[in-house]
């Protein structure tokens, strides 16, 4: 958000002298990807050099001790900058970085962070978002239950941070439903989904007055629209966990249209598309059945899927086209059970090395990326 840019820049300037050694390589990789954005993708980014910086930063991350709350903030900052750079330059591996950081800080001997400490950890929500989204796609269990501040305005997720807890719970339920066979367990999971649905139906941002007082008109519109879209996306995920394609489609279509309309209205008012709405945009997009609207939605991918992740934008277009085809042909009953996932696959990056502090990543060569 434009209103928070000066504060974010000042925070980096203040922290840089103390955090420069561990963050140096991650910042250099990040700077290379940002330079590519500024050039409009016209210049040829030296991918191999960028990956060398990423590889060195990964080694630093694996060796980083996390014993205090300050260590945890540094770990999440390093992981967040790394995740940003990896998504931008490579296209795969960021969720593994997020899981590593969240697991490391969760398993440390830290006491539960206070609200003030949570506010000083600006990358944690970003890590939770990326990992939770990946877990929803692949029906895996997230690393941890996010404990994030609910009374502050996040620089990326705005007022939507409290909704991450619902997405996390939905990912846990989705993973449980994959193997659940006992009727008692299934009944309990369905009851949890009913409770989530009821909570989301009545959910509202906790700080609307703060938004109106501290943010300009453009940012206020974006903050409120973003929160509404994340709420609708969570409703759609819960709905599809209970109802497969072909069942209760009319309600899913209503929420999908509402989410897309909210995105477009905010874009028309502010003259720029919302950022950090990739997850709810994809969740809403899979529900579209009209062919003309599907065509328009593919064009909107470049607006609403993370601008810093060109591989993800390409993968999302392929995924939506295929999941629509699979839905129409009755080859799949839920988008998270689709044959194809919205993710590029790169063989040369060993993402499993995050779990092994002695593993070495072979990233000296430019990666060959295959889109699925």
Distances (CA, A) of 335 to 67, 93, 236: 40, 22, 11
Question: What is the model's pTM?
Answer: 0.86
Q: How many CA atoms lie within 13 A of 116 on its CB side?
A: 1
pLDDT beyond 90 at 82: yes
Distance spanning both ends of the chain, measured CA to CA:
33
Query: What is the SS3 assignment for 206?
Result: coil
Express as a percent the part of the chain with pLDDT over 70: 81
Residues in Cβ contact with 264 at an 8 Å cutoff, skipping those fewer than 6 apart: none
CB 229 within 8 A of CB 163: no
CB 234 within 8 A of CB 269: no
pLDDT of residue 369: 31
Q: Over range 312-331, report the average pLDDT.
A: 92
Structure tokens at 256: 């999908």
Q: What is the pLDDT of residues 89-134, one digit of tens each?
A: 887 889 999 999 999 988 654 545 544 555 578 899 999 999 999 9
Separate counts of helices (H) and strands (E) for the chain: 14, 2
Q: Are strands 369-371 and 344-346 parallel, antiparallel or unpaired?
A: antiparallel
Looking at per-residue confidence, does 323 or 354 come out higher? 323
Q: For residue 66, which phi and psi values (nearest 5 degrees)?
A: -125, 95
pLDDT-wise least confident of 84-93, 235-244, 283-292: 84-93
Which of these, 134, 107, 119, lies nearest to 11 by C-alpha position?
119
Which of these, 169, 70, 111, 127, lies nearest to 354 by C-alpha position?
127
Residue 370 pLDDT level (bands cut at 50, 70, 90): very low
Share in percent of the chain as helix, strand, coil (round to 5): 70, 0, 30
192: buried, middle or exposed (CB in 10 Å: 19+, 13-18, 0-12)?
A: middle
CB 334 within 8 A of CB 239: no
Mean pLDDT of the chain, nearest integer = 83
Q: Return the exposure string of 85-122: e unless at least 16 CB atoms fall within 10 Å of the residue's CB, then b.
A: bbbbbbbbbbbbbbbbbbebbeebeeeebeeebbebbb
CB 160 within 8 A of CB 226: yes
Q: Please, which contacts does 258-262 make with residues 24 or more away whose CB atoms are closer than 8 Å?
A: 258/232, 259/228, 259/229, 259/232, 259/233, 259/284, 260/284, 260/285, 260/288, 260/297, 260/300, 262/225, 262/228, 262/229, 262/232
């Amino acid at each position: 958000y434009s209103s928070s840019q000066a504060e974010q820049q000042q925070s980096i300037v203040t922290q840089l002298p103390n955090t420069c050694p561990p963050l140096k390589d991650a910042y250099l990789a990040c700077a290379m990807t940002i330079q590519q954005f500024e050039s409009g993708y016209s210049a040829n980014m030296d991918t191999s050099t960028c990956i060398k910086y990423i590889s060195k930063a990964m080694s630093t991350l694996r060796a980083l001790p996390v014993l205090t709350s300050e260590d945890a903030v540094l770990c999440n900052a390093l992981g967040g900058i790394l995740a940003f750079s990896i998504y931008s330059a490579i296209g795969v591996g960021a969720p593994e970085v997020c899981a590593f950081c969240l697991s490391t800080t969760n398993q440390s001997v830290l006491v539960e962070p206070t609200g003030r400490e949570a506010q000083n950890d600006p990358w944690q929500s970003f890590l939770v978002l990326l990992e939770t989204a990946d877990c929803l796609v692949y029906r895996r269990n997230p690393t941890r239950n996010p404990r994030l501040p609910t009374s502050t305005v996040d620089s990326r997720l705005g007022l939507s941070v409290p909704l991450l807890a619902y997405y996390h719970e939905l990912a846990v339920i989705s993973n449980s439903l994959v193997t659940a066979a006992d009727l008692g367990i299934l009944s309990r999971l369905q009851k949890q989904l009913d409770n989530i649905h009821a909570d989301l139906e009545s959910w509202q941002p906790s700080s609307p007055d703060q938004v109106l007082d501290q943010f300009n008109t453009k940012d206020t519109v974006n903050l409120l629209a973003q929160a509404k879209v994340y709420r609708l996306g969570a409703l759609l995920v819960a709905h599809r966990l209970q109802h497969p394609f072909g069942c209760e489609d009319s309600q899913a279509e209503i929420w999908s249209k509402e989410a897309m309309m909210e995105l477009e209205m905010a874009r028309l008012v502010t003259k720029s598309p919302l950022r950090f709405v990739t997850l709810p945009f994809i969740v809403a997009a899979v529900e579209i059945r009209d062919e003309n609207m599907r065509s328009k939605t593919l064009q909107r991918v470049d607006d609403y899927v993370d601008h810093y992740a060109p591989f993800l934008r390409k993968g999302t277009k392929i995924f939506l086209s295929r999941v629509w085809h699979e839905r129409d042909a009755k080859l799949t009953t839920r988008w998270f059970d689709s044959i194809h996932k919205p993710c590029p696959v790169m063989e040369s990056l060993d993402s499993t090395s995050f779990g092994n502090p002695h593993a070495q990543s072979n990233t000296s060569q430019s990666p060959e990326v295959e889109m699925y």
